[in-house]
Amino acid sequence: MGFEFLRLLALAACWLAAGALARNAGPAARDWVGVGLLLVAGLGLAWPMAKAHLDKRLRPQQLPPEPALSPDNHRLNLLQAQLEHLPVAAWALGCDGRLQALSARARRLAAPGAVRDPAALQRLLRGANHSGPQTLETERGSERWALQRQTLSLDGQAQTLLVLLPLENQLETESLLAWQQLVQILTHEIMNSLTPIKSLSQTAQMLLDEPPLVERDLRLALDGIAQRAEGLSSFVATYRRVSHWPAPVLAPVDLTSLLQRLRLAAAPAWLARGGELSVEVAEPGLRLLADEGQLEQVLLALISNAEQATAEVAAPRLWLQARQGRGGRLQISVRDNGPGVPAGLERKIFLPFFSAREGGQGIGLTVVRQLLHGMGGRVRLVRPLDGGAAFVLSF
């Protein structure tokens, strides 16, 4: 700052001296040389200051830097952004009954064009005392959602976290796929019966129209028609039996007693083939709430599948195991040392009338899946590391 002040004083002195010389200068050229030198010296002193002033005016204004967020505030902003973009509708319900939308999906669901009655949605959320499926009336019609409810305490105050998960699109996709697969199977089975029936009927008509009538050939054609009709009738009866099982009657089932009873019934057949059947229950007194008769039917069907899968094995083995898995879920596994399920058929084997075995009816695993669904259980195929196949029932 002091250097700039001295520069201004020197500039003023140069130009004042130049003005004084200009007033006293005569017409001679030498009288104006000093004036010119003083003016040039003044310009030399003024140029740096003028340039600095111009640069300052042209330089963009810099805003003061924003104060850095604390780590806690940064994490809070990040969490709020993540909640905002959740693919589900989430709310927090305070102890005072106030609902706070936590995600954009929740706000869109209550906005015009979504649910028909936003007030009914709020009543549903405030009155929900357990998780489960829900049906919402929206502008697109009735839609199925899954409500999840979790209570928690924050800063000593009770709150409830409510989440609605959309299910409609996924369920429609699964339903359409199931119908397509079922129609394909039914069409295949029905056409397999109708094609020979049509052909045999035409043959019988030709025998009647073209004398002499050969009774033996006519009887063969009519017998063929009768057999194919019986096969089609049996197929329809089997389908009706698969699709009409009685509702389960749930009661505590002692798994040790059940599995030992199955071992006594099935072990002789395995021993006769040079094999072995073993039963293992992880904890004594392990119990399951199920329909004992239907659960036994499920296990018998899986044992029968294992017998057929190990028909070509020199030393067939079967393991029946019951234990508690992660989260306290009870699991029953039926495992064999056969060749296992061919790759790519993991999902198809549970379809009605699909069989990976020549001559199989393809209803055993369908019955297993349906009965377990009625008891709140699921079945899945597991590939053991040492080969074979294992069907795990989870409850």
Which of 216, 243, 270 terminates a domain? The answer is 243
Pair (185, 134) in one structural domain: no
Helix runs in 280-337, H state only: 292-309
Say which residue, 61 or 270, is predicted with more confidence: 270
Pair (226, 132) in one structural domain: no
Say which residue, 115 or 357, is predicted with more confidence: 115
Pair (96, 111) in one structural domain: yes
Q: Evaluate whether residue 282 is within a structural domain.
A: yes
Q: Evaluate whether residue 6 is within a structural domain.
A: no
Q: 284: cis peptide before it, omega within 30°?
A: no
pLDDT averaged over the chain? 77
Say which residue, 375 or 220, is predicted with more confidence: 375
pLDDT of residue 67: 63
pLDDT of residue 277: 92
Average pLDDT on 128-132 reads 84
Count of domains forming the chain: 3
Tokens 């099982």 sit on residue: 245
Tell me which residue range forms the domain holding 161: 89-166
Taking CA atoms, 151 is separated from 97, 107, 159, 161, 262, in Å, by 13, 21, 6, 6, 43
Model confidence at 138: pLDDT above 90: no
Q: Evaluate whether residue 22 is within a structural domain.
A: no
Report how far residue 241's alpha carbon sits from residue 238's, in angstroms, rounded to the nearest whole number.
Answer: 5
Pair (218, 272) in one structural domain: no
And the tokens for 142? 């009735």
Pair (235, 299) in one structural domain: no
The pLDDT tens digits of the residues spanning 321-379 come to 999 877 678 899 999 999 888 887 777 777 766 666 665 556 678 788 888 888 888 88
Q: b/e per residue, 26-63, with b = 16+ CB within 10 A?
A: eeeeeeeeebeebbebbeebeeeeeeeeeeeeeeeeee
Model confidence at 180: pLDDT above 80: no
Report how far residue 221's alpha carbon sits from residue 216's, in angstroms, rounded to the nearest whole number.
Answer: 9
Going by their DSSP bridges, the two strands 157-166 and 89-94 should be labelled as antiparallel
Say which residue, 288 or 210, is predicted with more confidence: 288
Q: Evaluate whether residue 54 is within a structural domain.
A: no
Report how far residue 186's alpha carbon sits from residue 352's, in angstroms, rounded to the nearest whole number.
Answer: 9
CB atoms within 10 A of CB 288: 20
Average pLDDT on 227-254 reads 75
Pair (107, 190) in one structural domain: no
pLDDT of residue 60: 59
Pair (279, 369) in one structural domain: yes
pLDDT of residue 33: 57
Q: Which amino acid is at 342?
A: P
Of the given ranges (98-112, 197-211, 317-331), which has the lowest mean pLDDT?
197-211
The pLDDT tens digits of the residues spanning 67-106 come to 665 676 777 777 777 778 878 888 888 888 888 888 888 8
